[in-house]
Structure 1
Amino acid sequence: MMPNKLIHPVTELLSPWLTLPNSVSLSVTGMTLDSRHVKQDDLFIALQGALLDGRQFIGNAISLGAGMVLSETKNAQEHGNISYDKDVAIVHFYQLQKALSALAYRFYFPAEDCHKVIAITGTNGKTTIASLLANSLTLLNQTSAQMGTIGNGLFGQLTSSLNTTLDALSVFSCLNNYQWQGAKYTLMEVSSHGLVQGRVSALPFHSAIFTNLTRDHLDYHGTMQEYADAKKRLFNEFPIQQRIINLDDEIGATWLSDYPDAISYSATGKKTLSHRYVTITNIHYLAQGLSFEFDSSWGAGKIDAPFYGDFNVSNLAAVITQLLCENFSIQDIEKTLPLLDTVAGRMEQYIFPARETTFVVDYAHTPDALQKALVALKKHTKMGRLICIFGCGGDRDKGKRPEMAKVAEAFADKVILVDDNPRTEPAAQIMDDILAGFKHPERVDCIHDRKTAITELLNSVQKNYLILVAGKGHEDYQIIGEKRIDYSDRVLLASLQLLENKKADL
């Protein structure tokens, strides 16, 4: 199905905020924040951003054919003032940033409601839950899209994204596109940044899932309380029909008391008497994945799934809860979950049979996520050793660096430090900050280049090693200084795997 052609008279489009004179009577066919992307008769949005002032690019937008410009002003008295450049109206708009989400929704969904959008928020698990839900719904014949860290698009057709939550215009442009491709659901990772900055403020979410809250983004939010408050906006400020909350998380358990209509999920057998629930019991850790039973307000079932670790039990509990809320039967869920694909860069295995060694690539980049990944893999090492390769990002929360070290030292048999997007900080300084958290830093290997660390380790390991390569997951770049350099743990390990297989065939 081809997308519909959007044509909006600006007087009607802007009527909730402005009354325009009859002289401004044109219709616009698109909206953009980037003057380089302006097409004929587009509405150019000139925001006063933290890094760039969009008003500096108004002239360029007009030269490319913009039909009208909305220019953000910080002065309430200037709201609605109109100036002209080459007969193009420049309308001054007070607090345009705050109105942008509602303006975008009004533009991209003028005549019909948006399909069901399910929001997933929390520190860890967002990407996995979004991917597994999109996969599950697709297998259940419900065309589904996904928006978040590993990309945006219909399930299986993702294109990469720089931000977990896109800007307000892109959010609704994508949702409009998915709807015209037949999507019944979009699974959207919603970041704390996106909530605070109002990128999704006008989106009528159908459902919201809270995973957990652990230390992250304190360079932005300042305190854990402010971080938690940012996440809670999703549950307080939107017309959510289903609030699904992790009972095993301390913050989640507190929030449940605030929402009598919420649904709880637990991977540890917990349930609340006052809420609908899904709770997991009788977990078995198998070579092929996981097996467990669940009890719920909808009935009981048994699940086999090709995943590893307690955190994936929790992720699957969230998936089961959402599917039950959507009235899928327990029998359909039991048939569907064993068919799910692993998620790119999330506990993704690269097996080297001749060496009896497995590398696992995971996005774990917080102390909590790293601990959960290591604890999960420890249950699968049997007689072997567990090695952890990780680093910490530059220009980000420095406080978590020694905490990551403590986790790695406590749960891994050996630790190798590598670079992980040092950005504009000296990589050696970042490693020193991490090393400060070790009781025995002399036992830690420091190899800045990830490729060198992984290749040398592969060539030196003995049998029955399990190696966690943490931090980058799905990322296909390394940021050094201001440069974005092509690099992927996944691509490297896949190429080494291919080389090993060729040697075995000789």
Structure 2
Amino acid sequence: MKLLKDILFGVRLSAVNGDTNVLVNNLHFDSRKVEMDDAFIAVRGLITDGHKYIQKAVESGAKAIVCEEFPELLVNGITYLKVESSNEALAIMASNFYDNPSKNLKLVGVTGTNGKTTVTTLLSNLFEKAGYKVGLISTIKIKVDKKEYDTSHTTPDALTINKHLKLMNDAGVEYCFMEASSHGIHQKRTKGLTFAGAVFTNLSHDHLDYHKTFAEYRDTKKVLFDELSKSAFALTNLDDKNGMVMLQNTKAKKHTYALKSFADFRAQILEHQLDGQLLKLDDNEVWSKLIGNFNAYNMLAIYATGTLLGLEKMELLQLLSQLENVDGRFQHYVSKGKITAIVDYAHTPDALKNVLNTINTLRTGNESVITVVGCGGDRDGSKRPVMGHIASELSNQAIFTSDNPRSESPTKIIEEMEAGVEPQNVRKVIAIENRKQAIKTACKLAMTNDIILVAGKGHETYQETNGVRTDFDDFKEVQSALNELEK
């Protein structure tokens, strides 16, 4: 148990009713988890408002209530604390409750539209290969040294973050690499954390269903850099037109990386093949198993971050050459019949374009590219016609299918994708709502040396429809379909 007044250190309180000199057992923002002597933080969410459950939390034994509006009934013996932002209060309280674990390791946040998972995961792998105990907080998983935990959000809630950072402290972890999504930053989940550095990868069309405008989306990412301390580093992609925006107000030491511009860290692609590419990083050649321009940027960001964190240059280059693709990120399989299947998480226009451009660069000219792609439901609908246009323009054949439709009609989503197809490309597009059937059809259409791209879900091993998740793994599905046809 901890003193409430200690947990509240740094929280901006606008009103207090009750005693803060009381012991609190635990913190919760879910009233269903509240037990005797816990503190309940009433958070306003997209679906429900925690203020509706204050009375339920009190009945379950809550000793303290943190909220943006006091309830009409104030119960004697309960401490009520009014704050401007419950999300911010939750993050700061979580950090205090777990003894500010981010201060005891070097935490690096990575933000941007594309590349966050690849950069954080490979940094984690690289530092592990270098002999350090490492932590990872990513879309795919949370990792505490050798132990892995599942995660359902790119940036988990503040309690989950700090709980696992505390576990990292206990395990002797020295470095932690964390994805910082725009949702997570906007909802203050990163407040109260001490970052050793932040990395900006790129910015393109995504999440406008949540942020409404591109400027708001960009400025939300920028908050991560605005809140860095003087002792931290801020690393940005200079080739992205929003790269320098990230550095405008930061107190941190500023660093840049680029393929096309003069920057602190530079890279050049010397040659590329389907199994990798030769890069020149600051006058040193290194072979990377990751291919494509976008992965050259990812590798450069990893190299720059490793350098800024103090790794020795030649060791760093050697370790870079050992890094493997992250699951669901340009993950490829070549069948007995010499058909190449590529599975990628590309679920934004920019990411899809990057992957298809990379594939087309690697073609000798005789192969066909067959793309299976869909768009997620209950997400930014304005990118659907753009995705449809890119897939049909840059492929020989495009199959529009279901992704994670969630509560939306898959047929409607596909129709919105079809709206972006140019007249000359209509003949190249077919719609098959069932994703399994769409993948099978792509495999049946493919001839020797052809390339199949299955885009959108990547590492995900499920499909979500009307709140129900069913097992579905793109990589296993395309492998199975090709093996079945080539028996």
Please indicate, yes or no, whether the TM-score normalized by the shorter chain is above 0.5.
yes
Report the more deviating stretch, 201-210 or 400-409: 400-409
Report whether the alignment pairs 1:376 with 2:358: yes
SS class of match (1:251) = coil
SS class of match (1:379) = helix
Report whether the alignment pairs 1:29 with 2:25: yes
Report whether the alignment pairs 1:493 with 2:483: no
Partner AA of 2:472 in structure 1:
Y
Are 1:125 and 1:315, in contact at CA under 8 Å, matched by a contact in 2? yes
Change (3 A) 1:146 1:111: closer
Q: Deviations over 1:132-162 (max 9, x none)?
A: 1011111111211111211212366443322
Report the more deviating stretch, 97-106 or 198-207: 97-106
- Per the TM alignment, residue 494 of structure 1 is displaced from its structure 2 partner at its CA by 4.7
Q: Deviations over 1:277-300 (max 9, x none)?
A: 1101242103421111111xxxx4
> Residue in 2 aligned with 1:248?
239
> Residue in 2 aligned with 1:452?
437
> Residue in 2 aligned with 1:3?
none
Which residue of 332, 338, 358 maps to 1:349? Answer: 332
Q: Deviations over 1:164-188 (max 9, x none)?
A: 1111222211211122122111111
Report the more deviating stretch, 120-129 or 104-113: 104-113
Which residue of 190, 193, 207 maps to 1:217? Answer: 207
Are 1:122 and 1:212, in contact at CA under 8 Å, matched by a contact in 2? yes
- Per the TM alignment, residue 485 of structure 1 is displaced from its structure 2 partner at its CA by 2.6
Q: TM-score, normalised by structure 1?
A: 0.87
Partner AA of 2:184 in structure 1:
G
Which residue of 82, 90, 106 maps to 1:93? Answer: 82
Q: TM-score, normalised by structure 2?
A: 0.90
Are 1:135 and 1:155, in contact at CA under 8 Å, matched by a contact in 2? no
Report the more deviating stretch, 306-315 or 476-485: 476-485
Change (3 A) 1:137 1:168: same
SS class of match (1:169) = helix
For 1:483 and 1:441, the matched residues in 2 are separated by 33
Change (3 A) 1:413 1:147: same
Are 1:11 and 1:20, in contact at CA under 8 Å, matched by a contact in 2? no
For 1:301 and 1:381, the matched residues in 2 are separated by 27
Aligned length: 479
> Residue in 1 aligned with 2:67?
72
- Per the TM alignment, residue 392 of structure 1 is displaced from its structure 2 partner at its CA by 1.2
Q: How does 1:384-395 map onto structure 2 within 5 Å?
A: 384-395=367-378
Partner AA of 1:264 in structure 2:
T
CA RMSD of aligned residues (A): 2.7
For 1:122 and 1:110, the matched residues in 2 are separated by 26
For 2:131 and 2:420, the matched residues in 1 are separated by 49
Partner AA of 1:291 in structure 2:
L
> Residue in 2 aligned with 1:113?
103
- Per the TM alignment, residue 495 of structure 1 is displaced from its structure 2 partner at its CA by 4.3
Q: How does 1:418-437 map onto structure 2 within 5 Å?
A: 418-437=401-420
Gap runs ≥5 in structure 1: 1-6
For 1:35 and 1:425, the matched residues in 2 are separated by 29
Partner AA of 1:130 in structure 2:
T
> Residue in 2 aligned with 1:263?
255
SS class of match (1:250) = coil
For 2:34 and 2:333, the matched residues in 1 are separated by 44
For 1:149 and 1:351, the matched residues in 2 are separated by 27
For 2:19 and 2:456, the matched residues in 1 are separated by 55
Report the more deviating stretch, 409-418 or 318-327: 409-418
Change (3 A) 1:200 1:429: same
SS class of match (2:371) = strand
Change (3 A) 1:281 1:22: closer
> Residue in 1 aligned with 2:319?
336
Partner AA of 2:391 in structure 1:
A
Report whether the alignment pairs 1:314 with 2:297: yes
Identity of aligned residues (%): 32
For 1:281 and 1:47, the matched residues in 2 are separated by 47
Are 1:72 and 1:97, in contact at CA under 8 Å, matched by a contact in 2? no
